[in-house]
Amino acid sequence: MTMQLAESPPDSREDTADVPLFRVEDVGFAAGGRPILRDLSLRLEPGLVHGLIGPNGSGKSTLVRLLARQTVPSRGTICFAGRPIEGFGRRDFARRLAYLPQTPPATDGMTGRELVALGRYPWHGPLGRLGRGDRDAIEAAMARTDTEGFADRQVSELSGGERQRVWLAMLLAQETGCLVLDEPTSALDVAHQAEMLGLVRRLSQDRRLSVVIVLHDINMAAQICDRLVALREGRIVADGGPAAIMRPEVLEAIYGVRMGILKRPDAGPPIGYVK
Amino acid sequence: MRQDLKSAAARMRGRGVAAAGWLALFAASLAVFALAAKSATVGLAPGFSETFLIAGLLPRGVFALLGGAALGLAGALLQQALRNPAADPSTLGIGAGAQLALGIATLLAPALLAGAKVLVAFAGGAAALALVLILSRRRNYDPVTMILCGLVVSLVASSLSATLILAGGDYMMSLYLWGGGALDQSGWRSDAAIGLMLGVAAPAVFLMRRPLAILSLSDESARGVGVATGAIRLAAAVLATVLATGVIASVGIVGFVGLAAANLARLSGARSASARLVAAPLIGAVLLFATDAAVLALQQLAGTTIPTGAVTALLGGPVLLWLLPRLPHRSVSTLPAPARRIRAVSLGLAALAAATAAATLVSLYLAPDGRAFLSSADLAETLMPLRWPRLVSGAAAGALLGAAGTILQRVTANPIASPEVLGISTGAGLGLAALLVIDPLAGSGPTFAAAAGGSLAALAAILAFAHAARLGPERLILGGIAVASLAGAGVTLVLSRGGPEATRLLDWMSGSTLRVTPGVAVAEALLAIVLVPLALFGHRWLAILQLGEATAIGLGISPQRAGGLLVALAAVATAAATLAVGPLSFVGLMAPHLARTVGFSRPRDQLAASALVGALLMIVTDTAARSLAFPYQLPTGLVAALVGGAYLVALVRRKAPAG
């Protein structure tokens, strides 16, 4: 299965307003006295798959946590869909952006359907009943991620790949316009990685979802992302389409190690390797 | 290089300052002690004053030093062996277990006490410690869980002790007076005993110091360098228990000295394990001696006699408050998923409700001797007015505790969390104690109000602590533990005064529902009708909160706010329950477990089921307490503590989750 990718510079496939998905301005974040992000400024457009790459400790997870409003920056401002990110109510924000943390927690006896159903919480709140719309959204989410077979099975008994798909279904049931995923494939084998990332890409294309995904595998990232943003030591060191990033000098600047590239036999971005 | 030298010099200076401070405290205490001793011997007959000095005051002072050293060493050993900075004979239930054993021996086998008092105390303390350790093994010996288990075991044990004392009458009251930790001595026997124990323990600790230090690593790493972790840990635990129960056998419970001493040792600059094992006994000796000197001086100045052990127990709350947020969080393996899930939940709940109704009927119609059933006419005439308040308030309290327990266990993802641990019940006890000190004959209205006031004060303290420290719901539990310790110390203080209020307090502590009036019963029922459905409304929050902070925020919930509101609701429900039936120690813990085991695993189902199970448990317990020992009435608390203790043992014997 090849994953085609446009070589041209990234531009929005959204034909709605010119409002950026995210506008990050001079954001800094420090924890325990140590600065993790420094003077970061970034603009992300809606409707694209953005990949966040970079070495360990570069601040990728922290950045997506800031974007998902899991924590607040020490300095600077973040605007989401044209408004300051603090301005959104909790459930309102959860209806617009869905977040998958790096290590999904234990689910303690929940079945697949129960977990996916939790994704409807931002819509019906603590007291509302599950209506027709909610049930349809749950079914659709499970169909799209091919997890209907796990509806009545306990999530804790599924394999790693199956469990990730159920979590993705929960995010989809949230019916947001934006997905933020923090290394959703680190614990998966090659086949499941490809499957999950292909799914993410298809979802973005079919449903015009904006996706921000943190990946540590540069080749996987180049294959599915429209735009790559590279962090190193808390700063952005590269930003562009896969063709622009997959060059030896750029990769070396990002990862600090000498890298080369190989052209693929089929159409697709080049593959990077460590020299 | 210069930086290293500078910081090393700074450390040496810091240690020097700390050592000087402790020496100064010791010198000051010595002066106070000498003055107080002198004032105590003034006015005594000439021959007697010397005897008093040599056989009464001097042994007391020396005992304070030796006992403090023993407790300090015990605390340091436990903390090192269990890798838990909050471990201490008081927090792990050793004290309560020893006291229970001594109480049982006093009642059933007094001859043992003459010769083998220390052995009896050791047996009780060791059993309690073993129970706590096995309970926390299922959670990978996580420090907070261990303290929670210790608290639960202590509560069960002291509830049993309280009922024994009530059952035994005046004779047993002297047990409680003694049990308060007064360091008065007559002769040098106790000093000799403790001195002997220290003399044996010190070389043993010296020999074990290297493997003990290596225990700071994980078990795998320690085993990797050839340390027999199990054996060393067992040896350290046994030594610590011997030291602690030795002190308890002589003077009763002296709380938290080990906890304070070992942590103060670390703060004073003893960074390595070996250094702590040396510094903690020394600091413990100074701490206890200083406290005793102050108590003696107070006695001389104001004439009030307070047992020293109760005063050190007051140390526990603040030290725990400071320490608990800094405890390392050990990752715990996930709970095993429940084996069964009930398909037709409504049917299951209906069956539970039917069982509860049936139990109510049985309880109402059972003849007093438990062997026959009454006719309706008999019942209406004679026993109904006496029985229905107890039943109604018991069932309502059980429902409230079941709901509160479910909330706490879900919000903290910790199956040992239970309403009693929050300290609300103990706070109610403190409020009641305060009232009874002022007016031992207060009626049921004022006592209700006093207990309510105490509960709310405890609740406010916990919430203030959690808010100030901006900690999540699990850490609310930590505030509860600290409040429970503080309030418990206050209650012990009042009890050890031995006045008439003590009996009433013990009465309430043992959960006697005898004195529940119709008014109280109706109030309880109304509270249950209001609060339990409120808890049910929060079931979605419960389902999401257990998935952790990130997922909760991602779905649009503030974990702090939602968790805080739910825990506050649990606290109010607990306060409502304990007002009528005392600080029972098992319904809030057991009912959620039982509901889950039967198959109600979703939050909403578990809440409803454990409210029903809680009510059912209370009805059964109350009926049993009423009928088992006819014509005597057992306090409900005794039966409750027995059931709770049996349940804990059953928990322990179930296999730990594999992997």
Q: Which residue of B has its CA nearest to A127?
A: B537
A171: nearest Cα among A147, A141, A149: A141
Range in A252-256, B552-556, B578-582 with the lowest mean pLDDT: B578-582
Q: For A105, which residue in chain B has the nearest alpha carbon?
A: B547
A120-124, A145-149, B322-326: segment of lowest average pLDDT: B322-326
Nearest CA in chain A to B338: A109
Pairing outcome for strands A178-182 and A210-214: parallel
- Is residue A122 within 8 A of residue A169, CB to CB? The reply is no
Nearest CA-CA distance, residue B572 and chain A, Å: 21
Nearest CA in chain B to A124: B540
Cβ distance of B557 and A104 shorter than 8 Å: no
* Chain A residues close to B537, C-beta within 8 Å: 126-127
Q: pTM for this structure?
A: 0.78
Complex ipTM: 0.83
Distance CA B402, CA B418 (A): 9
Percent of the residues in chain B that have a pLDDT greater than 90, as a whole number: 18
Do A156 and B538 make contact, defined as CB atoms within 8 angstroms?
no
The predicted pLDDT at position B332 comes to 53
Which residue in A67, A90, A97, A172 has the most chain B C-beta atoms within 10 A of its own C-beta, making it the best mutation to test that interface? Answer: A90
Tell whether the model's pLDDT for residue B505 goes beyond 80. no
Strands A83-84 and A97-100, by their bridges, are: unpaired
A114: which chain B residues are within 8 Å (Cβ-Cβ)? 543, 602
Sign of the C-alpha dihedral computed for residues A87, A93, A97 and A100 taken in this order: positive
Looking at residue B150, its pLDDT comes to 86
Picking from B228, B241, B231, B232, the residue whose alpha carbon sits closest to that of residue B209 is B232
Residue B396 has pLDDT above 90, yes or no: yes
pLDDT of residue B514: 55
Nearest to B554 among A68, A107, A114 (CB): A68
| B540: nearest CB among A92, A110, A121 | A121
pLDDT at B632 over 90: no
Region of poorest pLDDT, from B19-28, B93-102, B577-586: B577-586
Share of chain B above pLDDT 70, in %: 88
Cβ neighbours of A90 in B, within 8 Å = 553, 556-558
* pLDDT given at position A161: 84
A interface with B, Cβ–Cβ < 8 A, is 68-70, 89-95, 98-101, 104-110, 114, 118-119, 121-122, 126-127, 154, 156-157, 174
pLDDT band at residue B78 under the 50/70/90 scheme: very high
**For residue range A141-198, what is the model confidence (pLDDT) as tens digits?**
999 888 999 998 888 888 888 888 999 999 999 999 999 999 998 778 888 888 889 9
Which of B52-56, B72-76, B128-132, B411-415 is least confident?
B411-415
Average pLDDT over residues A120-146: 90
Pairing of strands A34-44, A22-31: antiparallel
Q: How confident is the model over B372-397, as a mean pLDDT? A: 79
User: pLDDT grade, residue B225 (50/70/90)?
Assistant: confident
pLDDT higher than 90, residue B210: no
Distance from CA of B558 to the nearest CA of A (A): 8
Q: Do A69 and B553 touch (CB under 8 A)?
A: yes
Collapsing DSSP to helix, strand or coil, B640 comes out as helix
- Mean pLDDT check: name the lowest of A3-7, A50-54, B391-395: A3-7
Question: Is residue A213 predicted with pLDDT exceeding 90?
Answer: yes
Tell me whether residues A118 and B558 touch, CB distance under 8 A: no
Among the ranges given (B68-72, B185-189, B372-376), the one the predictor scored with the smallest mean pLDDT: B372-376
pLDDT at B657 over 50: no
Whether the upstream peptide bond of residue B635 has omega within 30° of 0, thus cis, is no
| Residue A93 to residue B538, Cβ atoms within 8 A | no
Looking at mean pLDDT, say which of B253-267, B607-621, B642-656 comes out highest.
Answer: B607-621
Q: How far is A244 from chain B (nearest CA, A)?
A: 33
More confident residue, A141 or B181: A141
For residues B78 and B638, the model is more confident at B78
Give the closest of A68, A91, A109 to B601, CB-based: A109
How close A98 comes to chain B (CA, Å)? 6
- Beta-carbon separation of B556 and A105 below 8 A: no
Contact B547 A91 (CB under 8 A): no
Q: Do B554 and A118 touch (CB under 8 A)?
A: no
The Cα B287–Cα B72 span in angstroms is: 9
Query: In what side-by-side order are the strands of the sheet with A210-214?
Result: A97-100, A178-182, A210-214, A49-53, A227-232, A235-240
Side-chain-facing half-sphere of B651: CA atoms under 13 Å: 24
Distant-in-sequence contacts of A25-28, Cβ < 8 A, 24+ apart: A25/A76, A25/A77, A25/A78, A25/A79, A26/A75, A26/A76, A26/A77, A27/A66, A27/A73, A27/A75, A27/A76, A27/A77, A27/A78, A28/A73, A28/A74, A28/A75, A28/A76
Contacts of A104 in chain B (CB under 8 A): 551
CA distance B593 to chain A (A): 14
Which of B542, B553, B565, B604 has the highest number of chain A CBs within 10 A, making it the mutation to test binding with A? B553
Report the range of poorest mean pLDDT among A57-66, A230-239, B458-467: B458-467
pLDDT recorded at residue B360 = 87
Q: Go through chain A and tell me how many residues it has.
A: 275
Mark yes or no for CB contact B551/A101 under 8 Å: yes
In this prediction, residue B587 carries a pLDDT of: 85
Residue B373: which pLDDT band, with cuts at 50, 70 and 90? confident
Q: What is the pLDDT of residues B145-178, one digit of tens each?
A: 788 788 888 878 877 777 777 676 665 666 555 5
Q: Which of A70, A108, A154 sits opposite B553 (nearest CB)?
A: A70
What's residue A116's pLDDT?
Answer: 94
Judging contacts by C-beta atoms under 8 Å, the chain B residues touching residue A157 are: 337
Using a CB-CB cut-off of 8 Å, the residues of chain A touching B592 are none
Q: Could you read off the pLDDT of B588-616 as tens digits, one per residue?
A: 888 998 898 888 888 889 999 999 999 99
pLDDT (0 to 100) of residue A13? 44
Assign A2 a pLDDT band (cuts: 50, 70, 90).
very low
**In the predicted model, what is the mean pLDDT of residues B206-228?**
82
Calculate how close chain B gets to A1, using CA atoms only, in Å: 33
Interface test with B, best of A91, A95, A118 (most B CBs within 10 A): A118
CB burial readout A120-137, b (16+ within 10 A) else e: bbbbbeeeeeeeeebeeb
Pick from B335, B547, B553: CB nearest A105: B547
Contact A114 B602 (CB under 8 A): yes
Over the stretch B8-41, which tens digit does the pLDDT of each residue have?
A: 777 788 888 888 888 998 999 899 888 888 888 8
Q: How far apart are CA B364 and CA A263, in angstroms?
A: 86
A121·B550 Cβ contact <8 A: no
Q: What is the DSSP string of B240-271?
A: HHHHHHHHHHHHB---SHHHHHHHHHHHTT--
* Better-scored residue on pLDDT, B657 or B338: B338
Residue B171: predicted pLDDT: 58
Average pLDDT value for residue range B215-236: 81
How close is the nearest chain A Cα to the Cα of B234, in Å?
Answer: 33
The two most distant CA atoms of chain B are separated, in Å, by 94
Residue A127: pLDDT band by 50, 70, 90 thresholds? confident
Which chain A residue shows the shortest CA-CA distance from B546?
A107
Instruction: Report pLDDT for B415.
Output: 75
**B299 vs B36: CA distance, rounded Å:** 8
By Cβ distance, the residue of A92, A108, A126 closest to B537 is A126
| Chain B, nearest residue to A102 by Cα | B550
Instruction: Assess whether pLDDT exceeds 70 at residue B624.
Output: yes
Q: Locate the chain A residue with the closest alpha carbon to B343.
A: A152
* Mean pLDDT across B563-583: 80
Give the helix ranges, DSSP H, for chain A: 60-67, 90-94, 112-118, 121-124, 132-144, 160-173, 190-207, 218-224, 242-245, 248-255
- Identify which has the larger pLDDT, A248 or B223: A248
How many of the other CB atoms lie within 10 Å of CB of B567? 27
pLDDT at A4: 31
CB pairs under 8 A between A and B: 72
| Predicted pLDDT at A182 | 93
Q: Calculate what percentage of chain A has a pLDDT beyond 70.
A: 94
The mean of the pLDDT values for chain B is 81
**Contact check, Cβ <8 Å, A156/B601:** no
